[in-house]
Amino acid sequence: KEYLNHRRDREKQVLDALAAGDRDAMTMVKRIYVAYPESLYSAAAQSVTSHLKKLERDGRVQSDKGQTLWHLT
């Protein structure tokens, strides 16, 4: 249950980052993971991208064809 709550919280942070104008995973990482060392940013970007793909399947976000730029639907 704690894990699912964490995933929901992270999903909300991704949506909030999109609402604030962030369009790519690394920009979102710099907003969401600001308290973490930059050495973790690459792994964090993979996590954010996974959230974005899930949100795209849910119809809440859209991406360009290369899945590098994202926006809310």
Task: Give the predicted TM-score (pTM) of the model.
Answer: 0.93
d(CA 63, CA 60): 10
Q: What is the pLDDT of residue 46?
A: 97
Instruction: Kindly report, residue by residue over 3-20, the tens digit of the pLDDT.
Output: 999 999 999 999 999 999
Looking at residue 3, what is its pLDDT?
93
Give pLDDT, residue 25.
Answer: 97
Residue 70 near residue 62, CB atoms below 8 Å:
yes
Could you give phi then psi for residue 38, rounded to 5 degrees?
-60, -25
Task: Identify the pLDDT of residue 65.
Answer: 84
Decide if 55 contacts 14 (C-beta within 8 A).
yes
Low-confidence ranges of the chain (pLDDT < 50): none
Measured CA to CA, the distance from residue 30 to residue 40 in angstroms comes to: 11
